[in-house]
Structure 1
Amino acid sequence: MTAFADLPLRSADYAAQFGPTVVVIPHPDDEALGCGGLLALLAQAGQPVHPVLVSDGTMSHPRSRLFSPEARRAVREGELRHSLSLLGVDAHEPLCLRLPDGQVPAEGQPGFTEAVKRLRTFLEETQPATVLAPWRRDPHPDHRASSQLVQAALAQLPAPPHRLEYVVWAWERAAPADLPQPADGVRGFRLDIGAALPQKQRAIRAHRSQLAPGIFTDDANGFLLYPEMLAHFQQPYEVYFEALSDEREPAQ
């Protein structure tokens, strides 16, 4: 997206300032696509990363008969773990919320309050300096619902960590209203991930079920990441949004 190309570019060294990080992942593969470069840079800087997988990932190929929903979930969670290992951030076991893929509850819907409670408890246990979450209006309902989960959990903490938002579907589908507005109070930047780009690409390829020819091959109408979409994630930078009021000091 042209608007992203105009954002200021920050060096790879900037990643270390985010400190210990919790990354909230709507679906297995979002961690590699949206923020794989940053995750690799955090690992290189010695900063711990604690993953949270929101959905069960079963609806990319809902008509598969060879793979039950439980089997599809197992495959996709296994791919996530492989991706995290390739990025160097597999020291901590992911928290898997296993909310329904395609129907992650938004605020006011059944299951939302319990998911917020589990996420808040995880944040209290891990004590991150930064929470890495999908952009609040990333044009996918599960991404928006995941952002709402993060916002609600952070609101319950007496001293919430820094919130950093990454984009996935905004590269492809964002309408003008989906992009940052003055009322959002955020600033965007690009992070130079050139040194970590090979790791990011390997992590993307770890999600074999989402890349042609796929694994769940008995569902002809199932979702696969297409070349035009993947091209956005071959660039040597990633896009992030953070609060304008953030005046953090570098992490120690």
Structure 2
Amino acid sequence: MTDIQSPVIVFAPHPDDETLGAGGLMAQAVASGADVHVVLMTSGDGFREDAARYYLSFDISPEEYIHMGYERQTEAVEALGHLGVPRDHVHFLGFPDGGLARLWLEAWSGTPWVSETTRVDQVPYITDVVEPSAPYVGARLLQLLIRLLTQIRPRLVVMPTTFDQHPDHWMTNVFATAAVREWETQAGLAEPLERWGYLVHWNAWPLPVAYRPHLAAEPPENLRQLDGLKWVELAVDAPQAEQKRQALMAYESQVELIKPFMLAFVRRSEIFLQESQWTETSRIVVPPPDRLAKLLGRVNPLKGAAWGRIGDHLEVIVDFDRPPTASMVLEVSLHGIGTGVHRVWRVTPEDAYSSVTGRQWRLSWPVSWYDGAPELLVGIQLKRGAQEVGRLPFRLWEGL
């Protein structure tokens, strides 16, 4: 049995993700006497298909989306009760469903982000949230996560993996990773925390899309091909698998839409990427495309990036599968751990500090712009107009 250190904190973008990805882990941890906390970044108030089913209408008002958020909070409390997680260990933040990436990339501070469904720019929930009326800005969300970490002082952190294909999921990983490293720095911890990443959204995964509790969970083939990734397979016994099934069925609003998909996560094991032990530091790569991505024409044009320091400049060389074009924009995010520096650069091939040669795009900035940060959390998205067409997973880089 894998040793689960206590306390455990599980971060999830929406109610049900925590159970899909780590329901067996939570049941096992509680059974062993561990303290388990769950932090839900959003209340799931942006799921349009769910709202259409719930209200039998495509004309949903902002107030109805908020009501749906309250319903999903209620479901989460019941679901986590099946896993043994007490009500006061469930922490709702109420930030915008479908908007977490925008908070990091566009609304870090200043003018708050406005939810596309609830049409509010602050937490609308009055009860059962960590901070009612918290503004929808990334800096405030990060502060709240650090506050929870300070209160809970976890030994094991569980979150969506950086490779998850849903923006709210990979951005929950970014916020949680930044919060953990900020807290570790403030608390002066001698050893970094274990960070385990669970996967929910990936092309044609998990298979079969059906209830098969006798099968083991396995990472997608193209993720297994990446060097430097270490996976943990956590055995889930039959009673714990049944607890997980019951917890998932408590999410009635989701069961009507995606029951086979949800039950496909009830297996005799769960898998986690040991993100705190990802050995690769200066070079970031993406998984090779799978057959479905090729069939749908959704192949990531970005192949990888190498980060380095050249004298008094920070440099990144981004590799493409074909020469970049003038219509492309690189959205480069750099967050300085322990300094408060947060920058997002939108760069075209013609910009200063930018040059393109063949299939490589080179960017360079003065190190002084990062206020002496010893560590950066870095990520890159590729856009054509407003549409994201590729991305590289966010990574901690200690090369400064």
- Regarding TM over 0.5, the answer is yes
TM-score by length of 1: 0.78
Aligned partner of 1:225 among 258, 275, 280: 258
User: Are the aligned partners of 1:29 and 1:207 in contact in 2 as well (CA < 8 Å)?
Assistant: yes
Name 2:209's counterpart in structure 1.
Answer: none
Structure 1: where are the runs of 5+ without partners?
A: 1-12, 213-223, 247-252
- C-alpha displacement of 1:25: 1.1
- C-alpha displacement of 1:102: 1.3
User: Are the aligned partners of 2:160 and 2:198 in contact in 1 as well (CA < 8 Å)?
Assistant: yes
The correspondence of residues 231-246 of structure 1 with structure 2, limited to 5 A, is 231-242=263-274, 243-244=276-277
Name 1:142's counterpart in structure 2.
Answer: 168
User: Are the aligned partners of 1:49 and 1:89 in contact in 2 as well (CA < 8 Å)?
Assistant: yes
Q: CA RMSD in A?
A: 2.5
Matches of 1:117 and 1:162, distance apart in 2: 21
Name 1:191's counterpart in structure 2.
Answer: 234
Q: Percent identity?
A: 27
Structure 1 residues 192 and 176, CA gap change in structure 2 (3 angstroms): closer
Name 1:89's counterpart in structure 2.
Answer: 85
Letter aligned with residue 189 of structure 1: V
Aligned residues: 219
Specify the SS of the correspondent of 1:186.
Answer: coil
Letter aligned with residue 29 of structure 1: D
Higher helix share: 1
Matches of 1:146 and 1:180, distance apart in 2: 24
Matches of 1:171 and 1:205, distance apart in 2: 24
TM-score by length of 2: 0.51
Which protein is bigger by CA-based radius of gyration?
2
Matches of 2:264 and 2:255, distance apart in 1: 15
Matches of 2:143 and 2:80, distance apart in 1: 25
Aligned partner of 2:95 among 81, 91, 99: 99
The correspondence of residues 28-177 of structure 1 with structure 2, limited to 5 A, is 28-60=15-47, 61-63=50-52, 64=55, 65=60, 68-90=64-86, 92-105=88-101, 107-110=104-107, 111-157=137-183, 158=185, 159=189, 160-170=192-202, 172=204
- C-alpha displacement of 1:245: 7.1
Greater RCO, CA 8 A, separation 6+: 1
- C-alpha displacement of 1:104: 1.4
Structure 1 residues 50 and 68, CA gap change in structure 2 (3 angstroms): same
Name 2:304's counterpart in structure 1.
Answer: none
- C-alpha displacement of 1:151: 1.2
Matches of 2:178 and 2:42, distance apart in 1: 17
User: Are the aligned partners of 2:46 and 2:98 in contact in 1 as well (CA < 8 Å)?
Assistant: yes
Matches of 2:105 and 2:251, distance apart in 1: 32
Structure 1 residues 156 and 177, CA gap change in structure 2 (3 angstroms): farther
Structure 1 residues 180 and 134, CA gap change in structure 2 (3 angstroms): farther
Matches of 2:64 and 2:234, distance apart in 1: 39
Letter aligned with residue 206 of structure 1: A
Higher strand share: 2
- C-alpha displacement of 1:94: 2.0
- C-alpha displacement of 1:93: 3.5
Specify the SS of the correspondent of 1:40.
Answer: helix
Matches of 2:138 and 2:164, distance apart in 1: 19
